[in-house]
Chain A
């Protein structure tokens, strides 16, 4: 079987799962939803078959597992988003179309040689900062949940930070490829542009309060620096710097200090000051409300889960149990409905995706491609860890989307571009053989 036919076979399997998923939601929630749910499954299958045809035309030698895995994650996300609120699933569907357009554009535009991106590295570096600055502009940005991350353009809202993670990886891959030998020697002068761009990025992040993305960029930066220079001491120094910086930020920014408190002590038996109401409440009824309700949701899943469509996400008075359940907390919803077995399988797909991405980085022969593939893949893994680890209280919770699964237009588009990038690199790696 050729690589593309294999991809098609996996996509058909994923399509079957998608139909089963939407059918379960329909059966469980007949009271509130219509047959339309099965239309979503059909729509979804059509989109991924289109993506497959584009891949077949543009990158025929690419890895056959990445697209079906991305399809699987998107399908689970769309099913759960649909289950939580059919209106959001419609918007998500539209964003998947937009993401697909960007995906096709990237594959068609860069199919001959994506390495032209290397020559525009400073453009990408400056572009990263520009993207991150957009929400700070008056009239354009809005503050959601204490962080200023969104840009509104008419009816569209967009989170530029999601795209910045890609432009940053392109910049770092190109810059590090060019300067890796000198950087490995440790000459301070060569770190100049790198530190400059980096310092700027961190500054913007502190200004927008988006610690989750900050951690993601910093972690990706350290991973690529290590791959390029093979100097573990840089990583150690970087982590020490981050801990020191983190400590300073926690001391200085109340919004972030609060997150650490919530992480360490989500439950109190005595009342503490609640800034949002101005009164004294138990912490689980105020600051850590979301974290605690999300843990209850996960715990309720148990081994097998309640079943798709059978979980509880509404209080008896009709209020949503977990705020932002379909973006930051979609994992808590999935854990309740799919149970330990279901979400472990989901995490296994994330791991396989990472393994394939890293394999591509190992196989391809030029430095830029290696750094690009490894950077995109590591960013994907780290983003997953930051949000799910935050939900599970491994680390303090910082709002960020779960790749491919969460609701959110910018996230969908960005993840399709990550996928396109990995397919381009893998096509090149396999074509060389």
Chain B
């Protein structure tokens, strides 16, 4: 019997040895794939075991995102709380166990969970792991200014819209507000999430999720603010100068039909003879329509590309939360090869036809004019600090792209000053400060009375410290000068240094 027993023993040992092999497979080769599966709650818990870094506003004191401890089965888990209950909700985003992460919380997750590549962070994390202590993420200090952001949110209340304000030289984003908005703390629970989804929208019920960051994702026809691009193309090519004269009969003729000026009771039906500065100042569609026909749609789209259209602007939020601006066909970005025949150049010239832009993109257009033609890289994050103090990363001003020449930028800057001094943007005037701006009142459909109201701006005109864009969507008789310019004025007042504010 012993031969059989030996054989049975070998079979038994082989069966057990196969268990070692299979365990090795699951714990080494397969473990990465299993860890990445989204129903792997062990990984969710592992994330919650890390004390995420704090997020501060630009003052370095106001805490925008913090953690609360909760004990679950003897383990300390850290849940995110937002002490300001909805400060720049869509921009800062959220970090939750059931709804994932969004906004800065997602894009800067590596810093916030101390999994970045900074050598100090790596050593600290390793030390914490070895000692078995809690891993604490790095803190973020944002450029968002408490006063300006709060103001932007309250001014937008009850509307669909967005405000972007940034430093045109450094790219520091001072305010990025989106309305409707929500209290970020609600997102931790499914009940709260359901509440967010039910938030009533004042504009379009089908596309008004408060989770959408309208500052970077809302695509609206830029209307007359786009004349800035058209004017830049004309000046860059020396086709016209600011003093070139035009005759405005109240309409321009395209494809045998008349394209009329905006129907505003307070302005004359036709201006007659005007120069380019006046045409821009009073936002005369007929003149820009003719400039557009002269330049051609392709030339205008090329100029727009120089200003960043057709690219996703850089920012410390996930790229999926940022939309590129440009011509759209349905929901798709549309870059026609035969633009000169495919796109209506006259209407494109004043920001209609197929053109759609985000508030961030239009703010960058204003920043380009303010910054001698150069567009800065917009930055939400000012610096990253170790939990115990000490800066490990500081953002430095960078140029995203050169949009136009300093000469063109200066010429258009002057036109924008005229807009605020005696044109369509007088509502943006600030005593003692030279403000530059451009209104936009975008038609959403033929013969409707609701418009998207725009205002792009920078100030002080001679040495700008703030530039930006305001969009208020679907306003009944909502003219950019009447609806958006006053919001822009208050944002600028909040951000301009007190000395230039108090000048007589």
Contacts and interface: CB of A to CB of B under 8 A. Distances in A.
A18 interface: no
Interface stretch (B29-37, B326-334, B378-386): B29-37
A297 B35 CA distance: 9
Q: Which of B9, B19, B24 has the most CB of A within 10 A?
A: B19
Main secondary structure of the interface of A (DSSP, over half): helix
Interface stretch (B44-52, B110-118, B141-149, B399-407): B44-52
A299 B34 contact: yes
A341 to B, nearest CB: 10
B16 A354 contact: yes
Given A300-B31, A321-B42, A316 B16 contact: no
A272 B34 CA distance: 21
B263 interface: no
Contacts of B27: 298-299, 301-303, 335, 339-340
Interface stretch (A52-60, A100-108, A382-390, A414-422): A382-390
Nearest to B46: A312
B193 interface: no
Given A31-B71, A302-B27, A389-B18, A296 B37 contact: yes
Contacts of A31: 71, 74, 76
B39 A378 contact: no
Q: What band does the interface of chain A fall in when counting residues whose beta carbon is under 8 Å from B? A: 35 or more
A363 to B, nearest CB: 9
B19 A385 contact: yes
Given A31-B71, A296-B40, A300-B42, A393 B22 contact: yes
B12 A228 contact: no
A223 B22 contact: no
Contact of A314 (B3, B15, B72, B132): B72
A385 B15 contact: yes
B2 A340 contact: no
B30 A361 contact: no
B39 to A, nearest CB: 6
Interface string B1-33: 111111111011101111110111111101100
A425 to B, nearest CB: 12
Contact of A382 (B1, B12, B17): B12
A381 B12 contact: yes
B369 interface: no
Contacts of B13: 351, 354-355, 381
B73 interface: yes
Contacts of A313: 73
Contacts of B132: 28, 310
A217 to B, nearest CB: 16
A8 B259 CA distance: 103
Interface stretch (A115-123, A148-156, A246-254, A342-350): A342-350
Contacts, number: 161
Contacts of A347: 16, 19-20, 23
A394 B37 contact: no
Interface string A143-184: 000000000000000000000000000000000000000000
Interface string A54-91: 00000000000000000000000000000000000000
A368 B24 CA distance: 39
B20 A344 contact: yes
Contact of A230 (B3, B26, B41): B3
B42 A312 contact: yes
Nearest to A296: B40
A197 interface: no
Contact of A227 (B8, B39, B45): B8
Interface string A349-391: 0110011001001100001001100100110011011001100
Given A31-B74, A228-B1, A361-B5, A298 B26 contact: yes
B154 interface: no
B17 A312 contact: no
A378 B4 CA distance: 12
B97 interface: yes
A31 B74 CA distance: 5
A260 interface: no
A177 to B, nearest CB: 10
B84 interface: no
Contacts of B15: 381-382, 384-385, 389
Interface of B: 1-9, 11-13, 15-20, 22-28, 30-31, 34-35, 37, 39-46, 48, 71-77, 97, 132
30 contacts: A226-B8, A227-B5, A228-B1, A228-B4, A299-B26, A299-B34, A299-B35, A303-B27, A303-B28, A314-B72, A314-B73, A316-B44, A316-B48, A317-B72, A321-B42, A339-B27, A340-B24, A358-B8, A361-B5, A370-B2, A374-B9, A378-B8, A381-B13, A382-B12, A385-B16, A385-B18, A389-B15, A389-B19, A392-B26, A394-B19
Given A374-B9, A381-B15, 16 more contacts: A33-B74, A230-B3, A267-B37, A300-B43, A316-B41, A318-B72, A321-B41, A321-B42, A335-B26, A347-B23, A358-B9, A361-B9, A367-B1, A374-B5, A378-B8, A392-B25
